[in-house]
Structure 1
């Protein structure tokens, strides 16, 4: 039997109809034929089935494997040159229950009172956005600024003899084997909107920095602790050294570790600081209060407060950004747009406050255009996007 002439979108519709118990006899027969066509289709079917169940119940997200179902949606759903509107799979994703919004309302998410937005038009969101890339600005001890791009191979020597170079993965590497320890020098790396970068500090600690983030750190670590200062978001893999703790300072919060892997989100324009521990242990302190975090848990503290909220989480949801994937579980559309705005360097506006609180469970690859990402959201949630004055409008026809 030859390969079925059926689109990926049609398959998605059939699986969703099957999950809801409303598939027709003809549709069920097509689904069976598709399943028999290729062994890999059975795995894809199970993933989509889990997706629709999870989206409805918002429970047991761990059943969805690392390669989330919609990561493999056909490219035909989103062509880079032109965005095509897609038919809604369902309208039951938004929930009426009140939710706690973790992030402060940002300046670029002001609600619009106008209603003259044409959500039915085919928009090319790539015209007002750009896909992020590896880029940063390195500030040396003497104030010299060095633009770091993905393909450059510049070798820098600091005043103390430390060599700063890039490896094949565009990581910044600090080698102080031939440096002197007469005085402590500091460098700072700043990541712009639409950027990300990683570096290996002098002690071997590896740091991934997200968009709109900044890290200040010594060129070499001397004394009885290794201290850095963070604004924004970063993932750390700290080299183990029991005699010299690694300390991260961010706003009023201090995070002390010996050797571990964890994520810290501490943006200036967000009201909470979150630390998510993957392995090892960390001690957090804020305005006199301390908290010891265990692997698989996240501690969140509101700026200006010292009370930590600690809960068990799926750490992948908070660390996958460094591996090129955005993952969400029951996350508000406001939070999602906040993250996308940094990576795609674009501004979002909401036509109504209620759209901010729409919940979304899903994933999208960061190397896809914004067209692709917004289509995924449109396909899985009851909301649409439009363009007005180089801004992306979030809402739907009223």
Structure 2
């Protein structure tokens, strides 16, 4: 069933239907299904075969299910056209038999594992256009910014607490040194045992800012430890990791309703204003990019904030079509 156009293989779909995928894999399959009508039809066809397999209840005999599954495949597999039977080489029948045995074995082992792990299901939360706060099974609290998604097991049963994130979220992780908390976001891994931090992933760029505790951020073979007040920004085409000081608390505006600046560069303030107000502010004069701002905005309109910035730095604000330009 799989091919280069679908970017999904049968083994992954078997794991998905059996509840054996990781949170990141779960999100991957969900997004693949939703990507096109072709993918949806392929998934529906695969699921139909899965649903028609004899093992659908947990109290059924696993060995009997395996035998019935073999019979099911034999009875439903399409026979080759009669005109071709004489022409088929013995290797065809050997290959077919091997395929049937392989499929049966994979499904049987999967069913055995599912029976032993009845809690292998996932919770998916989509914040859509609202900020959403979710408490996880271990007591950790995640606040999702708008247009963000998290996926996690409904129970943390193994040696890790895995979570997959798309978008932005603030984490307050319940301490547990024996069971690290792992977040997968794109190709970046964040590992903690108990701390608070913000992760933001938009347009191929992932940013991690630590508020309390220590956070390990990894990509491929590279990793870095972040302490409170430090951040790392990772681009999709970048492997090296380097940390820097986080100036202010612009990152948690969606939690507090405040834009806290502490010698924060103007370009960072502009980026956040664009997100918060849906604006399109451009710094045309590059010499203004790193001008430091120390203040707290709360409850002001965008025009009021722009006025404060203009008065502070004696710059000109020009409105042109849908753009706001700093000159």
1:265 aligned residue: 200
**Equivalent residues in 2 for 1:1-398, closer than 5 Å:** 181-192=118-129, 195-268=130-203, 271=205, 273-313=206-246, 316=249, 318-319=251-252, 322-350=255-283, 352-354=284-286, 357=289, 359-389=291-321, 391-396=322-327
Secondary structure in 2 matching 1:336 = helix
CA contact (8 A) 2:281 2:326 kept: no
Give CA deviations for 1:69-92 in whole Å, capped at 9, x if unaligned.
xxxxxxxxxxxxxxxxxxxxxxxx
Deviation at 1:320? 5.6
Aligned length: 215
Q: Greater Rg, structure 1 or structure 2? A: 2
Inter-partner Cα distance in structure 1 for 2:131 and 2:216? 27
Q: State the structure with bigger RCO (CA 8 A, min sep 6), 1 or 2.
A: 1
Q: CA deviation at 1:313?
A: 4.3
Check the 8 A contact 1:333/1:355 in 2, yes or no.
no
User: TM-score by structure 2 length?
Assistant: 0.56
Give me the whole-angstrom Cα distance separating, in 2, the residues matched to 1:370 and 1:332: 18
CA distance in 2, matches of 1:291, 1:188: 29
| Structure 1 residue 212, shift from structure 2 partner | 4.1
CA distance in 2, matches of 1:335, 1:295: 19
- The Cα of 1:256 is off from its aligned counterpart by 0.9
Give the distance between the partners of 1:385 and 1:255, measured in 2 at CA. 40
User: Which residue does 1:148 correspond to in 2?
Assistant: none
Report the Cα distance in structure 1 between the residues aligned to 2:318 and 2:171, rounded to whole angstroms: 37
Q: Secondary structure at the match of 1:308?
A: coil
Please say if residues 296 and 313 of structure 1, whose CA atoms lie closer than 8 Å, have aligned partners that are also in contact: yes
- Note the C-alpha offset of 1:316: 4.1
Change (3 A) 1:293 1:388: closer
Alpha-carbon deviation of 1:377?
A: 1.2
**Alpha-carbon contact 1:191-1:209 (below 8 Å) kept:** no
Q: Deviations over 1:196-228 (max 9, x none)?
A: 332222221112233443333334333222212
Which stretch of structure 1 is more off in the superposition, 362-371 or 247-256? 362-371
CA distance in 1, matches of 2:316, 2:118: 58
Distance 1:239 1:354, change over 3 A: same
